[in-house]
Chain A
Amino acid sequence: MKSIEYYLKGLFRNIEQTDEVKEQIEELSSHIRDRVTDLCASGMDEMAALEKTIADLGDLDELVDTMFRRKVRIRKNRIDFFEMLAGAAYGAVYLVFMTLCMAAWYFGPAALYLTVPAFAGYLIPTIFSAVRFIRSPHETHLVPYPDCTNLKAATAGWALISGICIVANLLMMMTEAHCRFWSWMPVAGVFTWPLMNAMYLFFAVREIREAGADV
């Protein structure tokens, strides 16, 4: 029965051996021991019983990951779709304003040559995610526990790009009399990036709260 403990210790090797972890190892080892004892009682030999028990335990890495909130199982197809849909809705509004602005300032109706392909950039990934969602709406994926890291990075990236554009725009306005305030366009466009990250976080956290999602 020593082999059970070695197996479990191996499984939890990458985790700090806190009291919680030690207790979980002890709990699982008595679980395995009980199961092996039962299987042996029904006539299986000990080695086979142990092998069967460990095989039936399935993906314990998942347990380790979910227990310590490193990973979580969520309906990613669903979340991706809603995230993309929110992005596309934002993109549509943004591009309508951009079309009006570009048409009035520079190109007339030819502004559509720019903004329609730009909208395709929103629409095509949304269609792909819709297809995935419709095909398997309940498919779950094990993903890193959602946190603000990506959102923070995206927001910082957006702020940086926006800052550069606005400064460049202001410099141009100082030197050229007819220069327009065009920088709102990249600022609003790149905003899609943190927005999508925020949407993902929102939908993922909501699902975890609602379903108590785990393995």
Chain B
Amino acid sequence: MKDVIIERDIIRNHIDTIILHLLTEQDRYGYAVCKEVLERTGGAYELKEPSLYSAFRRLERDKLIASYWGDESQGGRRKYYAITDAGKAYYAQAMAQWQRVQEIMTMILGAEGRKQV
């Protein structure tokens, strides 16, 4: 249980990178982001709604993403998020950082740390 929590925490530290990455591909709404994360990880990681929406609020406040309402005719409207230019710059930085961390960990841990997927 404790291990799972630590693992979740580590991933959660990268939640900005995850969200920004998904938004560089296309504009998405909250549920679509959750679903995408679940599908890409084969259900191994579930982005919880409170984490997602507070990250949205924070990223929006920092002007890294912008939101607009969709024009769904039936059912409720959906709020879409798009990455801004500032967001793209931040994302490039975060991505470089992540690659660097991975590189360093691999250099230290070697083949053992590189689990075959």
Contact = CB atoms under 8 A, between A and B. Distances in A.
A8 B98 CA distance: 37
Contacts of B51: 214-215
B55 A30 contact: no
B79 A23 contact: yes
A30 B76 contact: yes
B90 to A, nearest CB: 11
B50 A60 contact: yes
A35 B29 CA distance: 13
B75 A30 contact: yes
A29 B57 CA distance: 16
B103 interface: no
B53 interface: yes
B63 interface: no
Contacts of A62: 50, 54
Nearest to B57: A67
A110 B57 CA distance: 60
Interface in B1-53: 6, 9, 13, 16, 29-31, 34-35, 48-51, 53
Interface residues of B, number: 23
A109 interface: no
Contacts of B16: 212
Nearest to B51: A215
A26 B77 contact: yes
Given A23-B79, A214-B54, A31 B9 contact: no
Contacts of A214: 51, 54-55, 58
A63 interface: yes
A35 B48 CA distance: 13
Contacts of B77: 26, 30
Contacts of A29: 76
B100 interface: no
A66 B54 contact: yes
B58 A138 contact: no
A66 to B, nearest CB: 4
Nearest to A61: B50
Closest 6 CB pairs of A and B: A30-B76, A63-B50, A214-B54, A34-B31, A215-B50, A66-B54
Interface of A: 23-24, 26-31, 33-35, 38, 56-60, 62-63, 66-67, 138, 140, 211-212, 214-215
9 contacts: A23-B79, A31-B30, A35-B31, A57-B49, A63-B49, A63-B53, A66-B50, A211-B13, A215-B48
